[in-house]
Amino acid sequence: MECDPIGHVETPFDTTGEAPRQGFLGEQSGTVHVDEPFRRGLTGFAPGDSVLVVWWADDADRSVLRVREGDRGVFTTRSPARPNPVCLTTCELIAVDEDAGTLEVAGVDMADGSPLLDLKRTLEASGEGAPP
């Protein structure tokens, strides 16, 4: 399956190794840049929203199947190094400019320049209740 980036993420981290293990562990903010053809899909976002940023870990080792000295399967973790390095970060939306295709967000953990695959409303924010 071919994923085409819809933009990229600008953050203070050169690599995923420099980033906090999950975005919410840090206080860093960054900017999500959405390419022009996709900006119509941003209508409805507002500051304060919880946004799930779906990105691709370009620098990931895709051969990793075990982590933590081989004791844990990679699928039981959130490590960016995995066969398909589709990564998820829940961010808080600070500001959105639909025309410019930019979202200022808090709680980033992506490497700078990471390709953006998707944005989603979080389950908690979707008004459809929480998982059981």
Identify the residue whose tokens are 């919410």: 24
Answer whether 92's CB lies under 8 Å from 106's CB. Answer: yes
Distance of alpha carbon 58 from alpha carbon 62, whole angstroms: 10
Closer to its own copies by CB, 10 or 58: give it.
Answer: 58
The site map against its own copies for 7-46 (x = CB under 8 A) is --------------xxxxx--------x---x-xxxxxx-
Binding residue for its own copies, selected from 11, 82, 105, 109, defined by CB under 8 A: 82
The verdict on 50 binding its own copies (CB under 8 A) reads yes
121 CB-contact burial (10 Å; exposed 0-12 / middle 13-18 / buried 19+)? middle
Q: Which residues contact 76 (CB under 8 A, 6 or more apart)?
A: none
Q: List interacting residues with its own copies (CB under 8 A).
A: 1-6, 21-25, 34, 38, 40-45, 49-50, 52, 54, 56, 65-66, 71-78, 82-84, 86, 88, 90, 92, 107, 115, 117-121, 123, 126, 128-132
